[in-house]
Amino acid sequence: MTAVPELDPVIHAQARLRVVVTLSALPGGDRVSFPSLKKMLDLTAGNLSVHLTKLEEAGYVEITKAHEGRTPVTYVALTRRGRLAFEEYTEALRALLGGVT
């Protein structure tokens, strides 16, 4: 009997999964502003911030704070580690759902 694959608990939470899926759709090295991500996911700033912190602690996202003129801007990008973790997550999910490759 084959062992049941484990799903990454950092990614598996619904809001974090939505964040990672959205960021993974960007080409490698691209990033999105916090307000744009918040709008795309229809999350509150506080909720998104909490989930981004968890993803950042795992090394899955990179948060960059900058200024455009005098306006502070926060950017979010999926790291290589995050992209790999998402690929592993999707493979485990496929295996869990019936070994689809």
For the question of whether the overall pTM of this predicted structure is more than 0.85, the answer is yes
Spell out the domain ranges in the chain.
9-94
pLDDT in tens, 16-27: 999 999 999 999
Q: Is the pLDDT of residue 9 over 60?
A: yes
Res 42 pLDDT > 60:
yes
Give the model's pLDDT for residue 99: 54
User: Residue 5 and residue 66: Cα distance in Å, rounded?
Assistant: 40
Tell whether the model's pLDDT for residue 100 goes beyond 80: no
The mean pLDDT value for 77-88 works out to 96
Q: Could you tell me the CA-to-CA distances from 49 to 21, 56, 59, 75, 101 in Å, in that order?
A: 16, 10, 15, 12, 34
Q: Which CATH number fits domain 9-94: 3.40.50.450, 1.20.58.390, 3.90.380.10, 1.10.10.10?
A: 1.10.10.10
